[in-house]
Structure 1
Amino acid sequence: MCKGGGGVAGEKGIRVLCSVIGAGQWSEVEYLFPPYYTVKTDFATYALKRFLDDKGTPTDTVVIFGVESAAWAIVDKYLPEAKRKVIPEVKYQREVDDAFRTIKEALLELGPCTLVLDLTHGYRHHSFFLLLMGVYLSMLGRLELEAVYYAMLPWKEDRAEFLNLKPFLVLLDTVMNAKIFKGTMHAVGISEIRSTIEEERNDLGRRNLIREASSLYHIEGILKGLEELDTQLSVNFTPGIAKKAAEISQRTRELLPEVDKSYPYLVPFLESISSDLGALGELSQRPLWEMELEYAERCLRLGRLTSAAINLREGLVSWACHRWSGCPERKCESEGECVINGREYRERLTFALDAVARKQMVIPDEEFLQCATLYNKVSDLRNKICHGYLGHEEGVTRGRIEKKLRELLDSLRETFKGGRP
């Protein structure tokens, strides 16, 4: 969970338990790992290592950070094999940089690794630094941050339950992915989130928390839909994009109250995605050519120039096909999609448009001639973009391409005269 790009992303390497300790002495506590596993000890990191080993996910290395005067004796007692890393107390701003370097270098020395953090015993700000560095390096793809634990000991009690803070890692991932979706209309990182949700669901099932597990199952369905949507976005299947977006948005709105009760960490992400998809899904109620033009404009605003060019060309073809092809079903207007054999109509029509534009064919229809001229301009720009401007002398600059796309978009809207041929 909480993976990033670059570096060693995808390489798990060794499993590392990483902890911090402060000074002083601790009393023996019964550490609980829900639902039943307990360990009595005065060192939380040792209890966590026992738990991980016994549940079949042992760690290869233990790394512990602390100041010079930290309670290293307890490390010698329980985990003498642990690697010690001394960090400054961080009383002053300049020591923040030193702590940053020490923690960063210690984690990077491990190479590709899967990291489990224990934030129980250290000074509060040291635990905070360790967590920040773990998240930071995982986002860069330098390690995989698998879990974060903290043992909560209530005042004057001798039993502390280990809290799994992993859902907050899900929260961080989903915030990033929601931002990426808003900026690019690509639903990235969904498979990793689905994997984490599946693990959580299985854990809830083992604890007989059926209602919560059922809620996560429905969330997995939404995430699977987002993966399908991402495929459609990648290939510019505009009718499918609009319909899938509307479907996911509606399903998400229906599930939000239940999700809020059982797994609230995903609610902000789902609310954001639902809002964006709702606006995209509204296009499904419009004729195909309008849908494609509106989607082209969205892509143009987001800098997705290839998708914008493709949809401009397809939008013009959809409008012209409805106007002149003789297709009897005309689903492009009534249902916003092309019939199964519509490809034949579209290919014949584009052949005619191209031939008329190149003056290889003469058709005594002024409107068709204007459409063919516009089609030639749109196709020419689309082809340049899709073929990487190879063999063209003109420079490839975003401003120039966006200007041409905007001009063509305006011309198509004028040609469509309000969207009805």
Structure 2
Amino acid sequence: MLHGPAGLGKAAAIGIAWLYRRLYADSARGGAVSIPPSGDWAVTSPEHLLLTSLGTQLREPPPLYALGDQERKSLFAPLALLQLLPAERRPERVIVLATAKAADTSFPRFLEEAERIGVPAERCDVPDVATTADLDRFFSAIADRLPAGCRVTLDVTHGLRHHAFLFYSLALYLRSLRGVRIEGAWYGMLETGTPTKPIIDLRPALDLAEWFHAVRLFRDTGSASALAELLDSLHAELEDAARESGEKAAYSDAGRVRAFAKRLRETSFAYASALPLELGLAAESLARVVQQDVAAGVRNRVPLAGELARHIGAAAKSVAFTERPPGPQWKERIAPTNDEFERQLRLIQQFVTRDQIPAALGAMRELIVSTVARSVDGQQDWLARGARERAERRLGALAKLSQRGGAAPLDENERWWGKLWNDLTFLRNKFLHQGMCPDEVGHPGPRIQDLLRRCEEASHRPPPTLGGGGGRLLISPQGQSPGVLFNALRAPGLEIDRCIAVCSESSRDSVQTAAERAGFSGELIPLVMLDPLRGAGEIEGLVKSAENELLRADEVVVNLTGGTTLMGVVAQALFEAARRFERSARRFLLIDARPSEEQRREPWVVSGIHWLDPDPRAKDDDTDDER
């Protein structure tokens, strides 16, 4: 039977659908198709094979086939092709697909002619594929004959109509699975009414399948690596053509394709790495490259090149910076505007839609940090390490307090932010720590959509403030030396609004006395230790009881001088809690150079102080260190 232009038939449709699911649908989801590493391919066969198929009828006299300006007579188009191809493109041996009938009628004549021209040929017995049960036997028979990494040229002139489509589809599958390289696909046009039967190159049909696969991957996953690889091959072809022609326009076309591939790779890397700012820059560059007219050399080689360029350009613009930030320190010029945060939200929406959960959760977390950092440190410092750490501490404090329910001194907005941070970091940590936790990590289901909705809502909510309004709070131990609290309250340069005095039952009375001698009229809060010498177990409860006072403070200053050792430990623990609640907090020591006896005799003498910490309100311009 001669191969003609009629319909595929049921078996062909079944086979192509099967291969489509295996190759395209599975790989678009990131599974099923496993590609061996290049090192494995390097040790496999580089053999060049001609894969063809035979029918049961022969044309007499032998047709005259033509390729370019060369002609050959042959009963079989693939054998004419072998004689017409340049030596460097000629396969070394032939694999012939033959049904039982073709094996008896056509293959003996084929083998005789192949031997006459000195080409090794072997028969590959295949079923007619009348049912789906025959399909696997058909594919397995061919796959067993194609070594990994080999080169294959196809000739689809003869044989059953659907065989051509089936082994063409299988060749595409093996190209992905085994690294089989398709060198060409040829068809002898026996149906022409002319004496000469041209052999035409069908490789653009193979390329169409590759471009289709690459575009689908880009559309479904955001990965442009497959497109970039195809453009690399196209660039090589265009450069070869430019060298042959010597035309400047041809070199220009090749250069534009190379730039296109480079921008695609940069964009694909930034997207896969979930880097919103780097992606904005790369996508902006890609969008500018795509805006150029499609080169003539590209239109001739890439199917639907203009539509492909428009599709890529639209995808790039959706996540690109509206304006390109200039200079090597370009991040310093990115302002945390609402437009910028909306651009990042669009990227997060793509991650969620494509089920790229770790990327979505990581980008959500950083967007929330950016939102709070902007409110804390303003437009200029939102990327600085210190600004982002302060935002994280504020969110962390809100999250911790929101878990206490009504007992925590939070308003409705602060509780909303605290719960968002709790839910987001809990789920994000499971994925970003790669599931290294006791619980099994699975798909978050509707929780990811809920988090996305709340991240969108965050841009319209007032940023959290976390307490404040209570002025400067002093924390100081008070033991048996009444002058300690007196000096802390009278420290030069400090105006104290409220005071927590860490004391014992025996030193409690001296707290009021010291405050009166210092002329302090603000709120005085004794924090009494039951056992100031051995009561280490009291520390956690004392800190918790003072948390509301810490939250009320705008600034906390902590004296570490005086009292027992454990009183000093409590003061340090309160300092650390203040920092966790994003309070501006500093520690100091009292310096009194007088002899001890004189200090006890005259306790109401103002001493000096030594600060242990810099002012945390000082501008933080550290943008480079990693958190």
Length-normalised TM-score, structure 1: 0.77
Check 1:215–1:51 CA distance in 2 against 1; reply closer, same or farther (3 A cut): farther
Is 1:222 aligned to residue 260 of structure 2? yes
Alignment partner, residue 382 of structure 1: 428
Check 1:86–1:235 CA distance in 2 against 1; reply closer, same or farther (3 A cut): closer
Alignment partner, residue 388 of structure 2: 346
Alignment partner, residue 445 of structure 2: 399
Q: Equivalent residue of 1:117, what SS?
A: strand
Alignment partner, residue 167 of structure 1: 204
Q: Larger relative contact order (C-alpha < 8 A, sep ≥ 6)?
A: 1
User: By how many angstroms is 1:119 displaced?
Assistant: 1.8
User: By how many angstroms is 1:296 displaced?
Assistant: 1.6
Alignment partner, residue 302 of structure 1: 354
Check 1:398–1:381 CA distance in 2 against 1; reply closer, same or farther (3 A cut): closer
Q: Distance between the aligned counterparts of 1:355 and 1:321, measured in 2?
A: 15
Q: Distance between the aligned counterparts of 2:284 and 2:361, measured in 1?
A: 24
Alignment partner, residue 125 of structure 1: 162
CA deviations over 1:187-210 (Å, ceiling 9, x no partner): 242353134313432453365395
User: By how many angstroms is 1:50 displaced?
Assistant: 4.6
Alignment partner, residue 201 of structure 1: 238
The code of the aligned residue for 2:151 comes to T
The answer to whether the 8 A contact 2:125-2:141 is kept is: no
1:9-408 superposed matches below 5 A: 10=38, 11=41, 13=45, 14-22=47-55, 23-25=57-59, 27=62, 29=64, 31-33=66-68, 38=70, 40-42=72-74, 43-50=76-83, 54-55=87-88, 57=89, 59-66=91-98, 67-68=102-103, 69-70=105-106, 72-79=108-115, 81-87=120-126, 93-94=130-131, 98=134, 101-112=137-148, 113-141=150-178, 143-152=180-189, 154-158=192-196, 160=198, 162-205=199-242, 208=245, 210=247, 214-256=252-294, 258=296, 261-267=299-305, 268-281=307-320, 287-326=339-378, 329=380, 342-354=384-396, 357-358=399-400, 371=417, 374-393=420-439, 396-399=442-445, 401-406=447-452, 408=454
The answer to whether the 8 A contact 1:321-1:346 is kept is: yes
CA deviations over 1:84-138 (Å, ceiling 9, x no partner): 1244566xx33x7547623541332333133221223445433233222222333
The answer to whether the 8 A contact 1:21-1:70 is kept is: yes
User: By how many angstroms is 1:172 displaced?
Assistant: 1.2
The answer to whether the 8 A contact 1:171-1:266 is kept is: no
Aligned length: 394
CA deviations over 1:206-246 (Å, ceiling 9, x no partner): 65395567435423422221111111012111122234324
Check 1:238–1:298 CA distance in 2 against 1; reply closer, same or farther (3 A cut): same
The answer to whether the 8 A contact 1:9-1:141 is kept is: no
Check 1:140–1:401 CA distance in 2 against 1; reply closer, same or farther (3 A cut): farther
Q: Distance between the aligned counterparts of 2:51 and 2:293, measured in 1?
A: 37
Q: Distance between the aligned counterparts of 2:353 and 2:206, measured in 1?
A: 31
Q: Distance between the aligned counterparts of 2:462 and 2:341, measured in 1?
A: 9
Check 1:145–1:101 CA distance in 2 against 1; reply closer, same or farther (3 A cut): farther
Q: Distance between the aligned counterparts of 2:217 and 2:73, measured in 1?
A: 45
Check 1:275–1:403 CA distance in 2 against 1; reply closer, same or farther (3 A cut): closer
The code of the aligned residue for 2:96 comes to I
Check 1:344–1:311 CA distance in 2 against 1; reply closer, same or farther (3 A cut): same
The code of the aligned residue for 1:138 comes to R
Q: Equivalent residue of 2:152, what SS?
A: strand
The answer to whether the 8 A contact 1:100-1:129 is kept is: no
Is 1:6 aligned to residue 43 of structure 2? no
User: By how many angstroms is 1:354 displaced?
Assistant: 3.2
| RMSD value, Cα | 3.8
CA deviations over 1:354-409 (Å, ceiling 9, x no partner): 356557xxxx9977886566445433332222113432547634315425523542
* Structure 1 stretch displaced more, 345-354 or 297-306: 345-354
Q: Distance between the aligned counterparts of 1:394 and 1:279, measured in 2?
A: 35
* Structure 1 stretch displaced more, 266-275 or 279-288: 279-288
The answer to whether the 8 A contact 2:94-2:121 is kept is: yes
Q: Equivalent residue of 1:313, what SS?
A: helix
Q: Distance between the aligned counterparts of 2:339 and 2:259, measured in 1?
A: 29
The answer to whether the 8 A contact 1:65-1:85 is kept is: yes
The answer to whether the 8 A contact 1:239-1:288 is kept is: no
Task: Give the helix-richer structure, 1 or 2.
Answer: 1
Q: Equivalent residue of 1:388, what SS?
A: coil
User: By how many angstroms is 1:287 displaced?
Assistant: 3.7
* Structure 1 stretch displaced more, 190-199 or 210-219: 210-219
Check 1:40–1:60 CA distance in 2 against 1; reply closer, same or farther (3 A cut): closer
User: By how many angstroms is 1:41 displaced?
Assistant: 4.0
The code of the aligned residue for 1:346 comes to R
* Structure 1 stretch displaced more, 99-108 or 315-324: 99-108
Alignment partner, residue 335 of structure 1: none
Length-normalised TM-score, structure 2: 0.54
Q: Equivalent residue of 1:396, what SS?
A: coil
Check 1:191–1:39 CA distance in 2 against 1; reply closer, same or farther (3 A cut): farther
Check 1:29–1:204 CA distance in 2 against 1; reply closer, same or farther (3 A cut): farther
> Where do 5+ consecutive residues of structure 1 fail to align?
333-337
The code of the aligned residue for 1:230 comes to S
User: By how many angstroms is 1:351 displaced?
Assistant: 4.1
Q: Distance between the aligned counterparts of 1:316 and 1:189, measured in 2?
A: 33
Q: Distance between the aligned counterparts of 1:209 and 1:18, measured in 2?
A: 36
The answer to whether the 8 A contact 1:177-1:187 is kept is: yes
Check 1:115–1:104 CA distance in 2 against 1; reply closer, same or farther (3 A cut): farther
CA deviations over 1:255-298 (Å, ceiling 9, x no partner): 34746742341524434333333333377796433322332222
Q: Distance between the aligned counterparts of 1:397 and 1:16, measured in 2?
A: 46
Q: Equivalent residue of 2:303, what SS?
A: helix
> Where do 5+ consecutive residues of structure 2 fail to align?
1-22, 28-32, 324-336, 402-408, 464-627
